[in-house]
Amino acid sequence: MSTLIAEDDALYRQHVLELLEQHLSDCGPFHVASNGSDALDLANRHTPSFLLLDIQMPEMTGIDVARQVWNERPDTRIIFWSNFADEVYVRELHKIVPPQTVYGYLLKNSTDDKLLSAVMAVVQDEQCVIDREVRGVDSRSQNKITGLSDAEYEVLIDIALGLTDQAIASRRFLSRRGVTNRLRNLYDKLEVNNDQIESDEWGTTFSLRSRAIRLAFRRGLINLSLLDEEEKELDNWLSRYRLEPLD
């Protein structure tokens, strides 16, 4: 077999490489990449049977790399390696993990022994290994009361990008009432209304929109990396409405 380690932090990358070479040399030969684009190129050239992928990397995320690898070779074993248990990543993984595929999600604050045990479990024992904190996030994401539907998640992205109700309706092919219903469901699941205070002096305390964005950031449903990517999609959609510059 062979292993690909993709990690943009040089110290992490070297440490993991040395750890696997010392304790799990049977997983070699080892290939290393410092960004997502190089990782995908190496994965296509060497077809490693195991990948250790950082989730946040330049050029391509680890999830984007995994999506393309699994499209070609769904039996490839992958451990996602991250500083964060953000719900946005858990949601994305649910969309791309092939049926019956063995994979892992480990946080970088894990000990060396835990990392080695996780690699052995995924590679040798064919067992999925999910960090306890990640399992908690996953449970909340899949819960019907607290987990967002795709429709509710779309409207969260749209308000985080600053779109008005009218613009959201146009972009998502909805009526104004449809947008209002999605927002209401979003506010309920984020418990936005629980923070609202009424005052005789100033009326309501919070803008529900802004409060929802704040709570979504805190919960890890959105982050700056995601919004940067979504901004590109929004620009593509808006380009059809922008006037061409005058000569």
Residue 247 confidence (pLDDT) above 60: no
Residue 66 confidence (pLDDT) above 50: yes
If you average pLDDT over residues 210-225, what whole number do you get?
94
Tell me, what's the pLDDT at 86?
A: 92
31-40, 167-176, 237-246 — which is least confidently predicted? 237-246
If you average pLDDT over residues 123-129, what whole number do you get?
94
Enter the tokens of residue 60.
């391509």
Residue 143 confidence (pLDDT) above 80: yes
Residue 243 confidence (pLDDT) above 80: no
Tell me, what's the pLDDT at 81?
A: 93
Tell me, what's the pLDDT at 139?
A: 92
If you average pLDDT over residues 43-56, what whole number do you get?
96
If you average pLDDT over residues 151-175, what whole number do you get?
97
Place of tokens 């009432």: 177
Where do the domains of the chain lie, and which CATH numbers do they carry?
3-142 (3.40.50.2300), 150-238 (1.10.10.10)
